[in-house]
Structure 1
Amino acid sequence: MSNTITFEDFAKIDLRVGTIIEVNDFPKARKPAYQLTIDFGDLGIKKSSAQITTLYKKDELLNRQIVATVNFPKKQIANFMSECLVMGAVTGNDVILLKPEQVVKNGTQVA
């Protein structure tokens, strides 16, 4: 377990639901990854790099809702600017994406 944080620390993290609208291979990434384009509704469209190629095929990801942190600073990964961090459960070397149990409006806040 990591260090204990306060509720105020947790409240700073902006977790939102979005729908993946585009998936591309990312050959310049050091580890196998996809480039994702995600629709967060009123928050707009954001891009993310995700190392999820072992469990997910591109066509399985398209139109899938996910949970992401949308208030991290942008991060340059090779020639790609990642604007959000897709959330997942890490099991060994694999990441299993988190998603809402039911379809919700893009941009819905996760509490």
Structure 2
Amino acid sequence: MNNIITFEDFTKVDLRIGTIIEVNDFPKARQPAYQLLIDFGELGIRKSSAQITTLYSKQDLLQKQIVAVVNFPKKQIATFMSECLVLGAVQGKDVVLLNPENRVKNGSTVS
């Protein structure tokens, strides 16, 4: 287990549900990755880079709902500005995306 945080620390993390509406290859990334465009409803559309090419094709990802952190500062990744962090479970070199069991409204909070 990593560092222990308080409940107050946890409440600072804004986790939201979004739907992937566009997926593009990201050849300039150091590790194989996709560039994602994600619809978070009232929060708007945000970009993210994700190293998920081993388990997911671009077609698999379209319209898939995911969980993401939306209140990190923007991060420059090669020539791309990532605006949120898509969450997944790491299994070796693979990442399995976290997603709701049932379809929910884009922008829904995760608690």
Task: Identify whether the pair has TM-score above 0.5, normalized to the shorter chain.
Answer: yes
Q: Which runs of 5+ in 1 are unaligned?
A: none
RMSD: 0.3
SS in 1 for 2:101: coil
**For residues 18-57 of structure 1, what are the structure 2 equivalents within 5 Å?**
18-57=18-57
Q: Aligned partners of 1:5 and 1:88: how far apart in 2?
A: 20
Aligned length: 111
Aligned: 1:6 with 2:6: yes
Q: CA deviation at 1:23?
A: 0.1
| TM-score for the superposition, normalised by structure 2 | 1.00
Identical pairs, percent: 77
| TM-score for the superposition, normalised by structure 1 | 1.00
List, as ranges, runs of 4+ consecutive aligned residues in structure 1 with deviation greater than 3 Å. none
1:60-105 per-position Cα deviation (integer Å, ceiling 9, x unaligned): 0000000000000000000000000000000111100000000000
Q: Which runs of 5+ in 2 are unaligned?
A: none
Q: Aligned partners of 1:92 and 1:28: how far apart in 2?
A: 23
SS in 1 for 2:66: strand
SS in 2 for 1:59: helix
